[in-house]
Structures are given as structure tokens and as C-alpha cells.
Chains A and B, each alone.
Chain A
């Protein structure tokens, strides 16, 4: 067995990513076709949807084949990788559909915007696969740089440019922290592989590295107190890009967080667990309380996404295979609800100069009952309401269950989570009540007819949410199948034969 992966092995392990990159390069050529005076953005958007579909096929094939990792342990080939990849592909497909609608209306986006989305997706898929800090950082930067540009992709809006610059400056700063952390961890372990770091004795160098790495990650998932960029960036960025950041960037960052925490930072769990505990509690409380005070819908959703980061951190803290499964399921539900919400938001805020407020939703039920129902279901899913909120309830339920059945039950954190969810009803239900109970003001604009792509996104997300809300078993079972492979917690329980040990995680975990 070689210590490094041979090119053939790499191609085998990275088939979905290679499919995506090759497709994206062809797309880049297509986007250059139009010349000066025509903007083939809608063509490239649809082409990009096709590439996403083909990549999804490659991911499913790789999952079914089930031997995706490399022998040097730098790339994972487990179910967790493929399950999160599918959530990411779903989120990207939805975002592209919303972009198509947005472009038909505003004509503000250039043909390279879908290209950058696919390249960001490539970075994200790398994040779910990598088991080496070097690859993780490159994937992280690939995602981040593409999203910085995407945030400023509406060239006719000054707020979009401001959002992009803010995100770029703070993001570059946090990447610096992360890189420092990676360098120190490499110094402590002498290797960038997660498994080697997970087998290193904890020393001061290691702990400083963990702290810096955690800072960089907390920034990307928008955990309090590293969340200050979120409302401005979410508000200023174009709506489809905001959906992309809320759904996909968050999903990828959490997949990365979980993998690093379980595979590399196991030895230091006593140190980071309390820190992450407080971050999670602060994120849930601050996110929800500040969201109550927002009237601008996009800012409200930004704070709501901060709160959701807190809920997801509870799943990371629970530190078990069940918790990893709960997290994947939560990310799926969160992606669906985000796409549905932003599809409606795009239509309601059509042609509006100023930001859309909750007041603008008043009486939506009386003019466009369909939109009102879609938005209500998605917001209830965010809230975690049973039946009407669809799978949102089960998403939170699984996280709670995992937190309570964890080896060190997180009772206090569970109470915080439930109380924070109750607080969140304050703003979700206000928006819903305003749609259904208040009369439509006479000078309110009539929303435009739903374009076909937005309509598909809405129908898919609402139907998926409601079906999973009644019958969550298939998705949760799939998520569990994904998480089982990812979690070294199970590999510790049942030691693998030495031959396959290199491709699995070798992290030693503290006594549970």
C-alpha cells in the first residue's frame, strides 16, 4: 500500500467532483458565446441545472458503489459525504431555478454567475469529502471566494456591492484565522490528515490550533459572536444568492465542522466541548431574540438562519452517529424550507426598490393564497411546528433526541433549544398572521404571476416538507445510513480490520 493516492485512485474517488468541474468548464465556454450585446445568462442557468442533475447521478452511483475513499486516508468515501452532497446539489438546483426567475425579471446578472455557483458547489463537495486539512482549506477557499463574488453579482445595486465587500473582508480575516489554526495543528501532529491529528497528544500548540480553527468555522456558520456580518450580507446580496448562502454554505460548513470535530479533534473534546456549548447557547438565544425586532424580511431570515446554526451546533455537540444523522436530516429540511421561502420572497419583492418588510406580506392570502400557503408551510417548518410545518418538527425532534441520548446528556442545552424555538414563534407566527388575518392595503402592489421555475421550487419544497412531515422514515433512514459511515464513533465500537483501517478514521476518542 502506498502512502499516497495514485492518480487512478483519485479519479475514482472524485468522480462526482470531476463530472462537476468538467461540466462547469464547458459552461464557462458557453457563457462566453454571447458576445458584447446578448447575455446568455438564462441559457447558462439551465445548462447549469443539467450539470447539477448529472452530478447528482454521479454522487448516487458513487454512493451505491460504496468504495469511494482513497487508501492514503485523505479522501472519505462514506455515506456522510454523499448524503450531504445530495443536500448541497438540491440546494444549488433550487438556487439556480430562482436565479433564472430573477434574471428573467431584472436582467442584472451576467452569464458567469451560474458558473461561479457551480464552482462554489465544487468547493463544498470537496469539503464533505476531504479528510486532510490541506484539501479542506482549498475547498473552503473555493467555496468562499466564489460566494464573495456572487454576493456582489448584482452589478446595478450598490447594496449588493457593499455586501460583497463586507463579506470578503471579514471572510478573508476568518480564513486567516483558520489557516493559522491549520498550520499550528500541522505543527503539533506533523501531518495534515485528520486521522493523524486525531491520534496526536494534546499540547498547547494543538489547543491554540483548535481555537483558531474553531474561530474560522464559527464565522462561516455565523455563530454568535461571529455573526455580525450575516444580516448585512444576507440583506444586501441578491435573493437567490442569499438562499444559496443560507442553504448551501451553511450545509457545507456544518459538514466540515462535524467531520473535523469527530475525526480530528476527538482528543481535545474536553476543551472545545464547553466552548462550543456556550457558542451554541448564545447563538440560539441571540439569533432568535434579535430576529424578533426585525421588520425587514431578509434581515429577519438572516437572524433566523443564525438561530438555526445554533440548533445545528447542538447536533454537533451531541457527538454521536445518531446526532450526525439528525444533522443531515435537519440540513435537508432547512434547505427545502429556505428555498421555498426565498421563492416566495422573490415574487413578493418584485419590482420593489426598498427592502420587503413583514408589513408588505399583509393580506397576501386574499390576493395570492398559493404564495401565502407556501410561505406559511416553510416558516412553520423553520419553527418546527408539527404536521403543518411538515418535516421541520422531526428535524428538531431528532436533534433533541440525539442531544438527550448523548453520552453526556445535554439537558440544559435542550431546554435552551426548546425555549429559543418558542421565542422564534414570535416572529414566524407574526409573519404568518399578517398574511392570513390582515386586510390587503389598497395601495399594496399586486404580486406578479408565479414564473414556472419558481413555481416548481415552491411545489417541490412544500410537497417534500409535508410528505416528510407525515412519513419521515425514508429520509431519516437515508440520513442515518449516511451518518453511520461518517462517524468514527461507530468504528471505535467495532474495530475495523487493519487492511481497511487506513481508509477509515483512526481517531481515538475519549472514553464515553
Chain B
């Protein structure tokens, strides 16, 4: 492992952890959401280092792109007001609970070692990382792929139905 690689790893890892801490401690929902975007970017950097550029790209597109936009839209639609006027939703009980879950997850992380994980047969490394995804998408999961378009259609028709002005009488 070259020192440069190590440096990169610590850079992205510390970025992810720092941004995650800022994400849970911010009071304003919008700045919390933006710190979450930062976490996603740092994670996708780590994926690139793990030789998984496709996952990294999807991570940015789906999480930093689509899901965050939905978060910000919801925050915007709720129209909560200025951050300093907001009551803090994070009560003592919730903080303790979150802390306990965090400790449990951390303990879990320490307990996980290569020996206890199931052995997974890795696909041989390939330069074309999109090919295997495309292959299974258009063979094994062709029908699932096509059906997702019907699912999206339902969502669109449903949104039109609910968002349109009151029915014509």
C-alpha cells in the first residue's frame, strides 16, 4: 500500500466521519442535509479507491443527487421557519437511544473480522465494470427492469391525481 493511497484513505475517511458528526449536530435541517451530501461524496471517494467506480458513481447519482433533493424538497415544503425559532426535536431520550445504537454498531464493527464473514466468491476483476451490471439487468432481471417502468408510471399517475386541483363538478 503506497503512502499516497494511505493518505487518500485517511483523507476520505476523516471527511466522512467529520461530515457525519456535523450532520447529526446541526440544528438547521438544510445545513444538516448539505453535510449529508458531503458524507456521500466522501464515501464515493472510498468506493473509487476500492476499485468500484460504478458503485461510486451510483452513490453520487442516487444518494447525493436524487435522495438529497427529496430531503431538501420536503424541508422546503414543510416551511419550518428560521432555525433559531425551531424547537429542538432531539430530546434527551432520543439522544440516549441514538447513543446506545451507536455504541452497539461500533461494538459490531469491532467484532466483524474477515474470519466471521461468509466467504463470497468474488468475480474476476474486469476493466469493464458496467458490463456485469448490464448483463444481469438485461437477462435475469429483464422483467423486473421493465416492470419498474410500470411502477414509475403508477407513481406519476398517482401524483397527477392527487396534486391536480379539485375534481371538475
Question: A residues bordering B, Cβ < 8 Å?
Answer: 3-5, 7, 10, 14, 21, 28, 36-39, 72, 74-75, 107-110, 112-113, 115-116, 119-120, 122-123, 126, 132, 134-135, 138-139, 141-142, 145-146, 148-149, 152-153, 155-156, 164
Question: B residues bordering A, Cβ < 8 Å?
Answer: 139-144, 147-148, 150-151, 153-155, 157-158, 160-162, 164, 166-169
A39 and B168 contact, Cβ closer than 8 Å, known pairs A28-B157, A119-B154, A135-B143: yes
Name the contact of B167 in the complex, choosing from A7, A120, A122, A156 (C-beta under 8 A).
A156
Interface of A is mostly: helix
Please give, as numbers and ranges, the residues of chain A lying within 8 Å of B144 by CB-CB distance. 132, 134-135, 138
- In the complex formed, the residue of B with least CB distance to A132 is B144
Report the Cα distance A5→B144, complex, angstroms.
12
A152 and B140 contact, Cβ closer than 8 Å, known pairs A119-B154, A142-B150, A145-B154: no
Measured CB to CB, the closest approach of chain B to A81, in angstroms, equals 15
Query: Would you call B154 and A142 a contact (CB within 8 A)?
Result: yes
Query: Would you call B167 and A3 a contact (CB within 8 A)?
Result: no
Report the Cα distance A112→B147, complex, angstroms.
20
Please give, as numbers and ranges, the residues of chain A lying within 8 Å of B168 by CB-CB distance. 36-39, 107
Query: Would you call B161 and A113 a contact (CB within 8 A)?
Result: yes
Please give, as numbers and ranges, the residues of chain A lying within 8 Å of B141 by CB-CB distance. 134
Measured CB to CB, the closest approach of chain A to B148, in angstroms, equals 6
A4 and B157 contact, Cβ closer than 8 Å, known pairs A21-B150, A110-B167, A138-B151: no
Query: Would you call A119 and B164 a contact (CB within 8 A)?
Result: no
A3 and B158 contact, Cβ closer than 8 Å, known pairs A21-B150, A107-B169: no
Please give, as numbers and ranges, the residues of chain A lying within 8 Å of B162 by CB-CB distance. 149, 152, 155, 164
Query: Would you call B154 and A126 a contact (CB within 8 A)?
Result: no
Measured CB to CB, the closest approach of chain B to A207, in angstroms, equals 16
Please give, as numbers and ranges, the residues of chain A lying within 8 Å of B151 by CB-CB distance. 138, 141-142, 145
Measured CB to CB, the closest approach of chain B to A66, in angstroms, equals 21
A107 and B150 contact, Cβ closer than 8 Å, known pairs A115-B157, A135-B144: no
Measured CB to CB, the closest approach of chain A to B145, in angstroms, equals 10
* Extra A-B contacts (6), CB below 8 Å, given A74-B143, A152-B162: A39-B168, A113-B161, A145-B155, A145-B158, A148-B158, A149-B157
- In the complex formed, the residue of B with least CB distance to A153 is B161
A119 and B157 contact, Cβ closer than 8 Å, known pairs A110-B167, A141-B151, A156-B166: yes
Please give, as numbers and ranges, the residues of chain B lying within 8 Å of A14 by CB-CB distance. 143
- List 23 interface pairs A-B (beta carbons < 8 Å), by A numbering: A3-B139, A4-B142, A10-B143, A28-B157, A74-B143, A107-B169, A110-B161, A112-B157, A112-B161, A113-B161, A116-B157, A119-B154, A119-B157, A120-B154, A134-B141, A134-B144, A135-B143, A135-B144, A141-B151, A146-B154, A149-B154, A149-B158, A149-B162
Please give, as numbers and ranges, the residues of chain B lying within 8 Å of A155 by CB-CB distance. 162, 166-167
Please give, as numbers and ranges, the residues of chain B lying within 8 Å of A148 by CB-CB distance. 158
Query: Would you call A138 and B157 a contact (CB within 8 A)?
Result: no
